[in-house]
Structure 1
Amino acid sequence: MSEKRHVIDARRCKACGLCVDNCPKDVLALGSTINAQGYNYVYQKNPDKCVLCDICGIVCPDVAIGVVVE
């Protein structure tokens, strides 16, 4: 049986906020940590609320976040 997990690629995130705005469970937020490109990248502020719906991955223009199947 395959497992799903939520992933965030901080190197690719440009802090556009689309994933934060579209998350139905209020899992994501813009953090205070800055990546190499100078953006405050997204983090899971409420990881226990994530239902692995992958809406964040669908709306992300940089493919920096989403749900992967292992």
Structure 2
Amino acid sequence: MGEPQNPGRERGLDIILASRAYDLGFMSDWGGAGNIISTLYSAKSTNFASTWAKIETKARTELANELALFRGLE
């Protein structure tokens, strides 16, 4: 016995696969930015602004370095 016929299944998979997105900030974790929500949760804090202020310089520097690396691949 095969799979039941589902004419919309293929279209649904196409929609899912076409709408994938990747969060490079999370994957690269520039300066801890990728884990900022986890950091806030662990600290039982809602103070995003001060948490971001602590890592902003390092995050921006690491982002700039990675962008330079990608530009060098062109």
**Could you tell me the TM-score, scaled by structure 1's length?**
0.28
Considering Cα pairs closer than 8 Å and 6+ residues apart, tell me whether 1 or 2 has the greater RCO. 1
User: Could you say which structure has the higher strand fraction?
Assistant: 1
Greater C-alpha radius of gyration: 2
**Could you tell me the TM-score, scaled by structure 2's length?**
0.27
User: Could you say which structure has the higher helix fraction?
Assistant: 2
